[in-house]
Amino acid sequence: MKPYPLKFRPIYKQRIWGGRKLREFFNKDIPAGEKIGESWELADLPDDKSVISNGELAGQTLSSVIQKYPKEITGDENFSGPFPLLIKFLDAEDILSVQVHPDEQTCRRLGRGVPKTECWYIISAVEGAVIYKGLKKGVSKEQFAEAIKKGSIAELLTKVSVEAGQCHFLPAGTAHSIGAGLLIAEIQTPSDTTYRVFDFNRVDDSGKARQLHIEEALESIHFDASGDNLSVTTIGRLVDCKYFKIDKGTQGQNCELLLSPGKMKTLIILTGSGTITGAEGNAVDPVRNSTTAGIRQKQEISNGVEFNAGDTLLVPAVYEGAIQFADDTQYLTVTV
């Protein structure tokens, strides 16, 4: 395998709370007339596997390529999968349900589920936008269960005003909800286990309420942890936990950043554009793209992989090269 940065076909998820911002901000080709709440950019779950969209490996799933080339991709010849990250863009046109994801101990106790820790990077926020992150100090399991019956759960959650550029860390066991008017990059462990405990009495177009998982949620929430203690960061190292590390980078137009081999990296491009060129390739002038939305160029540049705002790229562990930035660019680098 000649390593190169891998790009992927998005997996779109229609959600009752979704909107159309993924097209507005990133020119994503989302289905017409549908409320797309999630774009899974990098996934390796049993029912949702990312497919490579560029280069000689195009059309193959990430999981199949890692099975063939574990050391080249991950740096570990004994890597058996699944890929250790799930990366999404979320478009919350409306508020999400109050929910929780279990930790490892809860999954063992319940005998089901896959643990999930996550973080939210706020890409865009309307004025007055909020998230709900953790319980208010002192809330007990009994109080929370009673609030479920009364429909007053939101009053027991820590309400946080948010703005673009913030990163909010949510360890497993944290009750949470995303408010309306937010576009978010979500980085998490590879799990789709979600226990909804309250959905604001919402129904779908057929008048049917979504399923709740009250018993599982009450078992999963960490009632001894307060939302007041959860961190928010804006620059540099955003998250440093046992599952992943996230760094925010900013580069100006015509800057170059060297990529050294040794560790697999995932790049999430928030704004701007550029080209990644391998060490053996010839330098290529990237195509300049000055539009705010970042018009997506479908073709690959000779000896290089072009990227635009809204792209997620996996840089193999053995890859060596450089990033040339065509525009002022903000991006997240995720390592495990």
Residues forming the active site: 196
Helix then strand count (H, E) for the chain reads 6, 24
Distance (Å, whole) CA 188 – CA 84: 9
Measured in degrees and rounded to the nearest 5, phi and psi for residue 9 equal -80, 125
Residue with token string 């709370």: 17
Angle at 212 between CA 210 and CA 213, to 5 degrees: 150
The DSSP string of 187-246 is EE-S----EEEE-TT-B-TTSPBPP--HHHHHHH--TT--GGG--EE-SSEEEE-SS-EE
Q: Please, are residues 122 and 19 in contact by the beta-carbon 8 Å criterion?
A: no
